Chain A
Amino acid sequence: MERRCFLKIMGTLTASFMLFGCRLEGIFKSAEKQVSNSIDFANRVAKEVKQALSKSGESSLFSLNLVKVTMPGEMNPPMPVLSRNRFGMAIDLDLCNGCGECIYACNLENNIPLVTQEESAKGRFLHWISMVDGVPVMCGHCSFAPCEKVCPTGAATHTPDGLSTMVYKRCAGSRFCGANCPINARKFNYNNAQELGLSYQFNPKVPLRTAKVMEKCSLCIQRLQDDRLRHKTVLDSEWDGRGVKTACAAACPKKAITFGNWLNPESELVKVARGREIYAPKALAHLDPSVVYLKGKR
């Protein structure tokens, strides 16, 4: 081919790509999103939870292996901003019967997407709470969070209140955090759940996640934020999160899950944990988790 001719063709192609690239979206309007009503969708979520419960035996990647720990106290290492709060949960294994209501409530509260057939067949779900050996397991919000140390973009960080948080917009999907979490609490959105019609926004306060981001239990940060902002607006006293409950704690029919503030001796959490044996999964025990398990009297 003649050289000039070649250059012209290439030039035209480049020009048209440059011009077209940004217009495609406008010209080919994305296909109508699947609309489904919330009750149908909630039923699908409930079904998936049942499926997850029935598969929980075969697919767990670690064994729980609970060991004794002491009651969580001040954050370690201390946060740059000091706070009088450290939020966490205690799950009373003398009461818990592994019914899975917490998983269902969590899914609806946090708009957790469903997974495809292939993935559910493999026992891979996006649920932030999973049942391991009949015990609900979620992110431990460890003070020495190993996941945050390896995040290359700074999307996984800690708040002074002891929550391990995610800025989903910052997450680039390296999955290092997931690999470094000893209890596999982080779930990766392989699919674009919105496009596949696998997610539904039950709770308008929690944004839907896009594909290729890591997500995990946030200790219902939206409830804490809302309460904190409301409190700061109306009252002058220091906010300590009294009265806030996570969705799982609120939904537990046996009241086995207690949410609260480890640093406030008056909080429900400390009251429940006092005088009990406190346990954590062996893999997390040295990381000072904020979510612990209670069993038996001391």
Chain B
Amino acid sequence: MKYFVVIIVALFSAFIMADLFFAPPAAPLRQGSRFFRHQLHGENIGLECAACHQGAEVLDHAYMPSKSDCLACHRLPLTEGPMAESLDSAFADDTYPFYNWNVKSKLPEHVVFHHGVHAKAKVSCEDCHGSRYKDDLYGGEKFTMKFCTDCHQGKTFSTKNFRTAAVYCGACHR
């Protein structure tokens, strides 16, 4: 009897340890990078999303800004503000033209997605990305197949009168 209790307790603690050390971390809502904040770079200073995400209106991916995009405004080192130091150090490394924004693809490789087609059809960024990025929180977007096909069939966003789009498998899969 005792043995069993000991064995079971040992097993359980072993599993918990295994979880702690080996399991992939759960994906939480992601806080943006340490220093970039959409809050400060939004409509209030008249920036279009596409100024930084240059593909968002014409290409498949929206893409991330390069340093030179930031330097258009931040040519002079920031002197105040809590994030100034990390910005300056990120820009200091001249050998590296792109700051390595931590952005992972959210769609599997077999799915075809294209920002440009949607921008042309007047689907706005908020329709898909929500407005949480404005609070510098990402990760709440739901890119399930149903989300895509429902809008394509006009079941969702019906007040916005988007044109109906393709729902045959070959439109989004390869």
Contacts and interface: CB of A to CB of B under 8 A. Distances in A.
Given A12-B7, A225-B174, A23 B60 contact: no
B8 interface: yes
B4 A169 contact: no
A194 to B, nearest CB: 13
A233 B112 CA distance: 14
B174 A221 contact: yes
B11 A207 contact: no
A16 interface: yes
Nearest to A209: B110
B128 interface: no
B2 to A, nearest CB: 12
Chain B interface mostly: helix
B119 to A, nearest CB: 7
A207 B120 contact: no
Given A81-B166, A159-B168, A27 B109 contact: no
A233 B15 contact: no
Interface string A188-208: 000000000000000001110
Interface residues of B, number: 29
Interface stretch (A132-140, A160-168, A258-266, A283-291): A160-168
A23 B116 contact: no
Given A159-B168, A233-B116, A165 B173 contact: yes
B22 A207 contact: no
A229 interface: yes
Interface residues of A, number: 34
B167 to A, nearest CB: 9
B43 to A, nearest CB: 24
B171 A159 contact: yes
A233 B174 CA distance: 20
B170 A159 contact: yes
B170 A165 contact: yes
Contacts of A16: 11, 15
Listed from nearest, the 6 A-B pairs whose CB atoms lie closest are: A233-B116, A26-B22, A159-B170, A165-B170, A207-B109, A229-B114
